[in-house]
Structure formats: C-alpha cells, structure tokens
Amino acid sequence: MKPSHPAFTPPSDADARRAKSAVVCYPTTTLAPPDLGAMTARRAGARKTTQCIVPPRDARCTTVPAGSFFRITCTEGPQVGDLNLWSAANLEERFYSGKTRALHGTHVSTGDRLWSSFPTMRPMATIYEDTLDWYGWDADGGSVHDVIGTRCDPYTGRLLSGTDYHYCCHSNLTRALAEHNGIPLKVAESFVHDVLNVFMCTGFTQDTHQYFMKASPVRAGDYLEFFAEIDLIVGLSACPGGDCGEEHTSDHAACHPLVIDVFENTAPFTSPALNAYDGSNGR
C-alpha cells in the first residue's frame, strides 16, 4: 500500500511526471475477434449432455469437449463461483488469470477469451453469453466476473486469522480435481490456480486501491456461458462466501449450489493452435 505520508519530497516536476498519458499495455487490435456468428450456429446444433451440481462450500469438475458449450447457472440464491480450467489432455495447460486480465481488463464478459498459461498460451474458452452484462460499472468502480482476485484459500486464512478453514475454494478445487482425475491430493493441489470469479462483484477501493468485494447482483436464473475452444476439465467451487457480501473463509455466509450444464456439439471443430513462439528464450 502506498504511504499516506511519503518519506521523500516530490521533485519539482512531479506533476508533469504524473500527467503523462496512460498507454494500454496490451492492445488487442491485432487479435482476430471471436466469431460469435459461428459460435451461435454451433450452439444451435448443441444438445445438453451433462449436468453437474456443485454443492455449497464444495467443488466439482466436469469435462467439456472442444467445440461445445458449458453454462454456469445460479439456480437458488446469490452465489459466487471460483472457476479453474485445465486442458483435459495436459493439466500443465491451465487458465492464466493474470494474462487474461492484461489482455481483456479486470472484469470479463461476452466475447472475452480465457487464455492458457505459458508456453501454450491460447484461448481455452470464450465467453458466449452473460446475463449480468447489464451491470457495467457501479459507483464504487466495481463490476462482476473478475480476474483480479486469487481464490480463497486456507494458507491466507491461517496467516491472517490463525485458524484453519478447509472449505475454501482452493481446497474445494483441490479435492474435486483429485477425485475427478484419480490423482493424489498433493499433486492435484499443485495444478489449482487463480480463478475467474464468476458472478463475484469486486473492484479496488478508491483510497487505498485494495481489493474489495460487495454482495453479488446475481439472482436465480442468471448464468455465464462459455464456448470450449479446447477439450477442457472445468472445475468450479461454490465459494463459502456465498454472495461475498460480508466475508469468506468461514461457515457464516448463506451459501447455495451452482449448476454446470454441458451442451455438446459433435460436429468437427479445430482448436486454436498452440502459441507459435519457439520457446528458445534467446538461446
């Protein structure tokens, strides 16, 4: 956090230095936009094959074939979900929230892609529909579906409160991946990563620029739907924070289930190529 009383005196040209123009770090104008028309055609030919119910304060994994769709629905009461994505063929290829943020901004919506980690770095999924796209930005600078948070976890809880809570999204996703893939818990834990906070309403406070959350505007019937660009394992935790209006990492908040519906289209589909960088890193 920046000090409210800096130790050093501003230089005489401090205002001029601060007045420089902001430049977007990663303009995406060279990226071909997602072909939402082609997606709509594939969606019309898709049929529902799987429904996965994620219990409150727990997580589940499900597989989604490339070229198909998955929809995360809030079915009962306001509930936030922590989303992880892995390539079904290789758990090392996982969702990269930081680079997704760098490319698409702090909060994502229809048409934004969820990118995978290095060295594959390609779209894993594209957001197809978002019933909360009307929310925009609120007076606190908050919005929904962020890629700025991490995932609630027992390590930070231990650090800050001195107690252990085992049903954080990190632990929920770890157990779910271990069970889904039949791998040891410790191995699964190493693949769990920072999330897309589905339905969560977040931002940075205007004074200290700290990460904040507020009660999610999601209501029963709202959903966020994705197009799977590659064969995916989708992991979703119904966060113990419920609507995240008060606290997480505890059993205090009212929590509800979330549902993942998979809509498969078996027509041939070609996934995006692996990132074309040769990986030589100058050697």
Q: Number of C-alpha atoms within 13 angstroms, CB side, residue 173?
A: 29
Report how far residue 125's alpha carbon sits from residue 229's, in angstroms, rounded to the nearest whole number.
5
- In the complex, the smallest distance separating the C-beta of residue 99 from Zn ion, rounded to whole angstroms, is 21
Residues 185-214 that bind Zn ion (CB under 5 A): none
CB of 202 closer than 8 Å to CB of 151: no
Residue closer to Zn ion (CB basis): 125 or 169: 169
Count of residues interacting with Zn ion (CB under 5 A) = 4
Residue closer to Zn ion (CB basis): 67 or 157: 157
- In the complex, the smallest distance separating the C-beta of residue 152 from Zn ion, rounded to whole angstroms, is 3
Residue closer to Zn ion (CB basis): 66 or 114: 114
Residues 99-158 that bind Zn ion (CB under 5 A): 152
Residue closer to Zn ion (CB basis): 192 or 239: 239
Q: How far is CA 206 from each of CA 203, 209, 210, 211, rounded to the nearest angstrom?
A: 9, 5, 8, 10
- In the complex, the smallest distance separating the C-beta of residue 169 from Zn ion, rounded to whole angstroms, is 3
For residues 242 to 281, the per-residue mask of contacts with Zn ion, x marking binding by CB under 5 A and - elsewhere, is ----------------------------------------
Query: In the block, which residue shows the tokens 């589940």?
Result: 60
- In the complex, the smallest distance separating the C-beta of residue 153 from Zn ion, rounded to whole angstroms, is 8
Stretch that binds Zn ion, among 4-12, 108-116, 156-164, 165-173 (CB under 5 A): 165-173
Which two three-digit tokens encode residue 17? 């230095």
First to last CA, the chain: 38
269 burial via Cβ count (<10 Å: 0-12, 13-18, 19+): middle
Stretch that binds Zn ion, among 40-48, 65-73, 174-182, 233-241 (CB under 5 A): 233-241
From 61, 176, 198, 239, residue interacting with Zn ion (rule: CB under 5 A): 239
Does residue 64 touch Zn ion according to CB under 5 A?
Answer: no
From 54, 103, 132, 169, residue interacting with Zn ion (rule: CB under 5 A): 169
Could you give the residue ranges of the DSSP H alpha helices within the chain? 14-18, 36-44, 97-104, 154-161, 169-181, 185-191
Report how far residue 117's alpha carbon sits from residue 92's, in angstroms, rounded to the nearest whole number.
8
Q: Number of C-alpha atoms within 13 angstroms, CB side, residue 102?
A: 9
Residues that bind Zn ion (CB under 5 A): 82, 152, 169, 239
